[in-house]
Amino acid sequence: MYGLIGKMRATPGQRDALLAILLEGTEAMPGCLSYVIASDPADADTIWITEVWTDAASHKASLTLPAVQQAIAKARPLIAGFDSHIETAPVGGHGLLPSL
């Protein structure tokens, strides 16, 4: 498996709008086992993204999907930056979050 944990900053006051965009069209991503978007309770502009994929190739392929490309284009003006990202090698776990 292949995992990513990333920290994204929204432009000031735009986190909720950016969260909504990031959650659009994320159901049909082949190879995606888990895609969790979270707001940071300590920073009003920070978003944490945690992803688990069957493999790195599935993640890379997802970036070419029309729904993902549309979300990226729509989100770009609301993104102030990507502070960090970490690649991980998931080994197991349980449960996915229900739709929020």
Question: Nearest-CA neighbor of 18 among 58, 77, 64?
Answer: 77
Domain residue extents for the chain? 2-88
pLDDT at 97 over 80: no
Please report which confidence band the pLDDT of residue 44 belongs to, taking 50, 70 and 90 as the band edges. Answer: very high
Q: Which DSSP category does 66 fall into?
A: H
Q: Does domain 2-88 have CATH number 3.30.70.100?
A: yes
Q: Which DSSP category does 98 fall into?
A: P
pLDDT at 17 over 50: yes
Please report which confidence band the pLDDT of residue 100 belongs to, taking 50, 70 and 90 as the band edges. Answer: very low
pTM, rounded to two decimals: 0.86
What pLDDT, on a 0 to 100 scale, did the predictor assign at position 27?
72
Name the residue with tokens 């990226």.
Answer: 72
Q: Which DSSP category does 92 fall into?
A: -
